[in-house]
A and B are shown apart, each in its own frame.
Chain A
Amino acid sequence: MTFIQDVQKLFRQNIREYGIYIAFIAIIVFFTITTKGLFLSPRNIGNLLNATSYIAVLAVGMTLVIVIRHIDLSVGFLAGFLGAVAAIAMKYWGWSSYATIPFVLVLGIFAGLITGFLVAGMKIPAFVATLAGALVYRGLLQTVTMSTGTIIIADKFFNAIGNGFITNIPGIGEGYNWTTLLLGLIAIILFVRGEIVTRRKTQAYHFEVLPRSIFILKLGILSALIGAITWVLAGYQGLTWAEVVLLVVVFIYSFITTKTVTGRHIYAVGGNPEAAELSGISVKNITYLVFGSMGLLTAVSAIIYASWLRSATTIAGTLFELDAIAAAFVGGVAVAGGVGKVTGAVIGALVMASLTNGMNLMGIDISMQYIVRGLVLAAAVIFDVKTRNTAKK
């Protein structure tokens, strides 16, 4: 009896946070049934995650941009342009991928800082500044690809990022990627250990913790989930490098946003810029930092995408920014700023990619797909606004 009550209480208090997970599970179940299991096949999950990775990386950066009450419309064409720069560097300048990748990352940060300067330094609304940026980067992309059209990338290492799987441990059984299984196991152990340590510490300081039964249930469900995903992926050649990159980005950004002073200051600026400034937090520096990070992640996204296609095209990156913004909102970032999690952004990207993927498998027309995704985006924001209001009362 008390267990059921605990669960109910937990859901009532955290409905905003759990909403997206519930929706995600519902979508998975729906497509699994309608595609007779095809949706959950290892090969499809692999494709889905790969196609999500470059948008999810952008969505992580975009979440922070929206948290500090701005927007970035330039990331799509910037990603396209940076991908083209990478391709040109390797094909025409003869650079190795070891030189190209850091160069593109630095270029991305630089582009982000220019946006930061326009927004924080020149006080131009981010919407306008980044719209201008989008036009400029689109022009630059077309300029550098004008004479050649699509630029094919031949570098094996570079192309492995979007297409290659992590190395299997040699010598043991065929059919499964043991590195992936090992990583999954390590992830579960670290997760469970981390949760238990946090719980002990919280109890030591006499703060409220989840009831024991729910805590164990939570650990069980999430461990099983990590295990299941790992198992499925390991059955189909294992983790791709793009997925590894995404996991690293999520890990680093989750850590920074939840555990560090810098993260705290980003949310403070989003919640109340005046209060942050009065507390000695430089709103300007935070703005530069967040747009710089957006630029860096745009470069990461550009590399994954160009690598995945093994080429740079004249239209690469088109509408990435809107997919990233949609993913961020579906993932629970608040329209007014100040609220939004990195993990939410990734789930948001997964939800949107799942919709596309699932409807493709069902053979639904592309025009219908846009409508469905639009409605899901609207529904997600309505849900956010409504639960926010009830939480306040």
Chain B
Amino acid sequence: MELKAESAPVVEMRNIKKNFGAVRALRGIDLTVHHNEILGLLGDNAAGKSTLMKVLSGAYIPDEGEILLDGEKVHITDPMHARRLGIEMVYQDLALANNLDVTANVFLGREEVGSKLGPIGVLNSHHMEQETQRLLDRLKIDIPSVRLLVERLSGGQRQAVAIARATAFNSKVTIMDEPTAALSVAAISKVLDLVRELKAQGASIIIISHRLEDIYQVSDRMIILRQGRKVLDSPVEGEIDEFREKVVAYFIGARDDFAQKVVE
């Protein structure tokens, strides 16, 4: 380990391969996320974005390749293991329990226990509520009360809760799968503000989105996948039109010069 943990990338995935029967979903992908960086992950349907992120979040075990967290090699066995390692995922279909309040959702599966009665832990409710309020304030999330049931919240507020929950417990990297899908325009801009706020506070984020504008607005760098290969890895820069044109070209395979460059 020649690099110190601080200077090593948060996440480094090397030559990740994953096959499903005859389908070669990932054909040897490298992906790096640096500290306090927002990485946009782009690609058409079935390009391999979700598969790659499922490998990182522990849902799939790769056939080949290795994953390094802060420069240290890890073997992720399942989603809970990934979570313990500091890899948090915000799911597209909002993994929230609508019948519970905001606090209960933020602390779901990680409840603070005040005292124990045999195997039964007594909830430390007030402290969790206070912590949740603090978290919402810190991330400038506008929700009237942490005691509101999630089913009473708007789509944007729910997404904010899901994101807050993923970043609440000292996560190393947060993966957001289509965080703006099915949201109103106003809600989208709020979610993007939240992503920027998280970056300002030092978070490292991988964001998957179909909306190129979202990636353009918040990402530092982008990776484009096509048919299980990485076809572009470059900083996000230039005008939006130029950016869009370039991305679409790689998306549909009109341009495919990046991979060759690497090989050369």
Q: A207-B129, A279-B108, A279-B109 are in contact. Are A260 and B95 (CB under 8 A)?
A: no
Q: Are B91 and A271 in contact (CB under 8 A)?
A: no
Contacts of B80 in A (CB 8 A): 280
A219 CB–B CB distance under 8 Å: no
| B10, chain A: closest CB distance, angstroms | 22
Instruction: List A contacts of B111 (CB < 8 A).
Output: 261, 264
Residues of B within 8 A of A261 (CB): 111, 113, 120-123
Q: Is B145 an interface residue (CB 8 A)?
A: yes
Are B126 and A278 in contact (CB-based, < 8 A)?
no
Q: How far is the CA of A271 from the CA of B99 in the complex (A)?
A: 5
Evaluate contact between A270 and B99: CB separation under 8 angstroms. Answer: yes
Quick check: is B86 within 8 A (CB to CB) of the other chain?
Answer: no
Give the one of B79, B108, B122 with max A CB within 10 A: B108
A205, A262, A339: the one within 8 Å of B130 (CB):
A205
Residue B151 interfacial (CB < 8 Å): yes
Q: How many residues of B contact A (CB 8 A)?
A: 30
B100 to A281, Cβ gap below 8 A?
Answer: no
Q: Is the CB of B104 within 8 A of A264?
A: yes
Q: In the assembly, what is the distance between CA of A263 and CA of B123, in Å?
A: 10
B83 beta carbon closer than 8 Å to chain A = yes
- Assuming A276-B108, A278-B79, is B96 touching A262 (CB within 8 A)? no
Q: Is the CB of A275 within 8 A of B108?
A: yes
Question: Which among A262, A270, A278, A279 is the interface contact of B121 at CB below 8 angstroms?
Answer: A262
Q: For window 290-334 of chain A, which residues contact chain B by CB distance below 8 Å?
A: 334
Return A26 CB to nearest CB of chain B, in Å.
28
Question: Is A365 an interface residue, CB under 8 A from the partner?
Answer: no
Interface string of A355-393 (1 = CB under 8 A from B): 000000000000000000000000000000000000110
Q: Once the chains are docked, how many angstroms separate the CA of A391 from the CA of B104?
A: 20
Q: Given the complex of chains A and B, what is the CA–CA distance between A275 and B109 in angstroms? A: 10
The minimal Cβ–Cβ distance linking A289 to chain B, given in whole angstroms, is 11
Question: Which of chain B's residues have a CB closer than 8 A to the CB of A391?
Answer: 152
Output the nearest chain B residue to A339 by Cβ-Cβ distance. Answer: B99
Residue in B closest to A268 when the chains form the complex, CB atoms: B97
Q: Assess the A276–B97 pair: CB atoms within 8 A.
A: yes
Interface size class of A (residues with CB under 8 A): 20 to 34
**Is A253's beta carbon under 8 Å from chain B?**
no
Q: Which of A201, A260, A271, A278 contacts B98 (CB 8 A)?
A: A271
Q: Is B97 in contact with A271, judged by CB distance below 8 angstroms?
A: yes
Q: How near does chain B come to A286, taking the closest CB pair, in angstroms?
A: 12
**When each residue 157-175 of chain A gets 1 if its CB lies under 8 Å from chain B and 0 otherwise, what string results?**
0000000000000000000
- Residues on B with C-beta less than 8 A from A338 are 97-99
> Provided the pairs A205-B130, A279-B108 are in contact, do residues A259 and B122 lie with their beta carbons within 8 angstroms?
yes
Roughly how many angstroms separate A210 CA and B129 CA in the complex, as a whole number? Answer: 17
Chain B residues with Cβ below 8 Å from A281 are 108-109
With beta carbons under 8 angstroms apart, the residue of B83, B100, B123 that contacts A268 is B100
A280 contacts B95, CB within 8 Å? Answer: no
Which A residues are in CB contact (< 8 Å) with B117? 260
| Residue A136 CB within 8 A of the other chain | no
Tell me the smallest distance from the CB of A278 to a CB of chain B, in Å: 5
Q: For the complex, give the distance between the alpha carbons of A204 and B121 in Å.
A: 23
From residue 180 to 214 of chain A, which have CB atoms closer than 8 A to chain B?
Answer: 201-202, 204-205, 207-208
Determine the residue in chain A with the shortest Cβ distance to B107: A264
Which of B109, B120, B126, B152 has a CB less than 8 Å from the CB of A260? Answer: B120
Name the residue of chain A whose CB is nearest to the CB of B151: A392
Which residues on A sit within 8 Å (CB–CB) of B94? 275
CB-CB contacts of B219-234 with A at 8 A, as 1s and 0s? 0000000000000000
| Contact B147–A279 (Cβ < 8 Å) | no
Interface 1/0s, chain B 93-137, versus A by CB < 8 A? 011111110001000111101000100111101100110000000
Is A267 touching B100 in the complex (CB atoms < 8 A)? yes
Q: Is A335 an interface residue (CB 8 A)?
A: no
Q: How far is the CB of B65 from chain A (nearest CB, A)?
A: 24
Query: Given contacts A201-B126, A339-B99, are A268 and B104 in contact (CB under 8 A)?
Result: yes
CA distance A334 to B98 in the complex (A): 13
Query: Separation in Å of the A196 CB from the closest CB of chain B?
Result: 15
Q: Are A392 and B104 in contact (CB under 8 A)?
A: no
Contact B123 A260 (CB under 8 A): yes
A274 CB–B CB distance under 8 Å:
yes
CB-CB under 8 A for A278 and B100, given A207-B129, A261-B111: no
Chain B residue at minimal CB-CB distance from A340? B99
User: In this assembly, does A256 line the interface, its C-beta being within 8 Å of a C-beta of chain B?
Assistant: yes
Q: Are A267 and B126 in contact (CB under 8 A)?
A: no
Q: Which of A28-51 contact B (CB under 8 A)?
A: none
Task: Indicate whether A267 sits within 8 Å of B97 (C-beta atoms), given known contacts A279-B109, A281-B108, A392-B151.
Answer: yes
Is A148 positioned at the interface, with any CB of B under 8 Å from its CB? Answer: no
Q: How far is the CB of B157 from chain A (nearest CB, A)?
A: 14
A114 to chain B, nearest CB (A): 22
Determine if A272 is an interface residue (Cβ-Cβ < 8 Å): yes
Q: Judging by beta carbons under 8 Å apart, are B95 and A278 in contact?
A: yes
| Chain B residues near A (Cβ < 8 Å) | 79-80, 83, 91, 94-100, 104, 108-111, 113, 117, 120-123, 125-126, 129-130, 145, 147, 151-152
10 contacts between A and B (CB under 8 A): A264-B111, A267-B104, A268-B108, A272-B97, A276-B97, A276-B108, A280-B80, A280-B109, A338-B97, A392-B152
Question: Which A residues form the contact surface with B (CB < 8 A)?
Answer: 201-202, 204-205, 207-208, 256, 259-262, 264-265, 267-268, 270-272, 274-276, 278-281, 334, 338-339, 391-392
Which A-B residue pairs are the 8 nearest by beta carbons? A279-B109, A271-B97, A271-B99, A338-B99, A275-B95, A280-B109, A261-B121, A279-B108
